[in-house]
Amino acid sequence: MLNPISKSIEVPCDQEHAFTVFVNEVTTWWPLAKNSVSAMGGEVAKKVVIEPKKGGEVYEIGHDDTHHTWGSVTRFDPHKHLTLDWHIGLPADNASEVDVQFIAIDSKKTRVELTHSRWEAFGDKAETMRNGYDQGWVGVFEEAFKNACDK
Say which CATH number the domain at 22 has. 3.30.530.20
Q: Residue 146 pLDDT > 90, yes or no?
A: yes
Whether residue 71 has pLDDT greater than 90: yes
The one-letter amino acid code at 77 reads: D
Please, what is the average pLDDT of the chain? Answer: 96
| pLDDT at residue 148 tops 90 | yes
pLDDT band at 123 (very low <50, low <70, confident <90, very high): very high
Query: What is the rounded distance in angstroms from the CA atom of residue 103 to the CA atom of residue 112?
Result: 6
Range of the domain at 88: 5-150
Residues of the chain with pLDDT > 70: what percent? 100
Cβ count near 56 (within 10 Å): 18
Rounded to an integer, what distance in angstroms lies between the CA atom of residue 90 and that of residue 125? 12
Total domain count, the chain: 1
**Contacts of residue 91, Cβ cutoff 8 Å, sequence gap at least 6:** none
